[in-house]
């Protein structure tokens, strides 16, 4: 999967500007879906399977947008001020490189700060090498993402948008490996998650699922002196979400997912994320309500230009989802 993962994480696509990454995903799906469509908010929805007497209409959602920056002002010397798209930490920005959607590249600089003062986004600017406002190729409203190459560390992989392209890669692989299912499965590659779970909200209303699953990254508690104590670590298996700050997973689904993992000897973790949300909320809250769960991938350094995941967790997430979607979903 690594070649696909590299292609996905290196393709730009901040929230609201997912057109390039959507094309890459469509190509990655190829002819393995029964049909593929794009809805009004830009979600790519690939259907596989026909619902049988034992089956349900299932939505599986992985968001394809990433955090980014939007130009708000260009000064007389061609330096670009910006605002955030999604959750951006100024500490991870300084000295970073960016790529605008038209291919323009730049580096993030910072105004002088008092010693000991924490930087704010308003202290930062983008330098694209321009010497004047007229000579700057960027205009107000242009969008960029961070530019960092994919790094293969063997068991570990690092990139600027593992959140949530790693889940898109997992969804594509599950779709390809799912040879038989009693369900009508709608794989949703959703937009604008980082700015309010918007794409999954409209997609869930349109799909109208009987049950749904999000796939997303989650934080870890396995680094030196982690800021938050958390029972999730890289390499210990996919995490079955119990709750996050946006939704509580259906307990019946959690129990069923745990049982399936045990039956297949797939390592797993239980996840309680105290801050953060996923497309699971949108699925759960659509129409009259939907039982929803989430498979999470442990990820270090989330919302930084160097997010890290474990290859075994990725492969085991594929195995777990193929098993879950290949069997009747038991909620009793």
Active site positions, annotated:
193
Q: In whole angstroms, give the CA distance from residue 262 to residue 270.
A: 13
3-state helix, strand, coil in the chain (%, to 5): 25, 30, 45
State the DSSP H helix or E strand holding residue 75, giving kind and residue range, or none if neither: none
Alpha helices in the chain, H assignment, sequence order: 2-10, 19-29, 162-177, 198-207, 251-263, 280-285, 311-325
Exposed/middle/buried for residue 177 (C-beta within 10 Å: 0-12, 13-18, 19+): middle
**Nearest alpha-carbon partner for 18 in 63, 50, 65:** 65
Q: In whole angstroms, give the CA distance from residue 281 to residue 198.
A: 11
Phi, psi torsion values for 37, nearest 5 degrees: -145, 165
CB-based contacts of 101, cutoff 8 Å, min separation 6? 12, 17, 20, 142, 143, 144
Q: How many residues does the chain have?
A: 332
Cα 145 from chain centre? 14
Sheet holding 156-159, edge to edge: 151-152, 156-159, 307-310
Q: In whole angstroms, give the CA distance from residue 313 to residue 219.
A: 14
């Amino acid at each position: 999967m690594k070649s696909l993962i590299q292609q996905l994480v290196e393709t730009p696509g901040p929230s609201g500007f997912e057109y390039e990454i959507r094309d890459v995903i469509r190509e990655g799906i190829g002819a393995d879906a029964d049909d593929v469509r794009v809805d009004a908010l830009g979600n790519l929805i690939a259907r596989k399977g026909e619902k049988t007497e034992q089956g349900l209409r299932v939505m599986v959602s992985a968001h394809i947008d990433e955090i980014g920056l939007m130009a708000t002002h260009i000064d007389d010397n061609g330096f670009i001020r910006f605002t955030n798209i999604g959750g951006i930490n100024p500490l991870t920005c300084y000295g970073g490189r960016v790529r605008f959607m038209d291919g323009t590249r730049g580096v993030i600089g910072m105004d002088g700060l008092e010693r000991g003062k924490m930087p704010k986004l308003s202290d930062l600017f983008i330098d694209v090498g321009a010497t004047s406002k007229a000579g700057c190729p960027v205009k107000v409203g242009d969008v960029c993402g961070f530019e960092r190459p994919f790094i293969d560390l063997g068991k570990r992989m690092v990139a600027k948008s593992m959140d949530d392209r790693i889940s898109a890669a997992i969804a594509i692989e599950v779709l390809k490996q799912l040879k038989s299912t009693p369900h009508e499965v709608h794989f949703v590659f959703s937009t604008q998650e980082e700015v309010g779970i918007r794409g999954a909200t409209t997609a869930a209303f349109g799909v109208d699922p009987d049950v749904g699953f999000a796939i997303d990254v989650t934080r870890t508690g396995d680094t030196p002196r982690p800021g938050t104590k958390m029972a999730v670590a890289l390499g210990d298996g996919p995490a079955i979400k119990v709750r996050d700050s946006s939704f509580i997973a259906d307990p019946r689904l959690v129990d069923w997912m745990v049982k399936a993992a045990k039956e297949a000897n797939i390592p797993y973790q239980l996840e309680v994320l105290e801050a953060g949300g996923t497309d699971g909320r949108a699925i759960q809250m659509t129409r009259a309500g939907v039982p929803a769960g989430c498979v999470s991938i442990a990820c270090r350094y989330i919302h930084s230009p160097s997010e890290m995941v474990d290859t075994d967790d990725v492969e085991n997430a594929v195995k777990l989802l193929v098993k879950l979607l290949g069997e009747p979903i038991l909620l009793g």
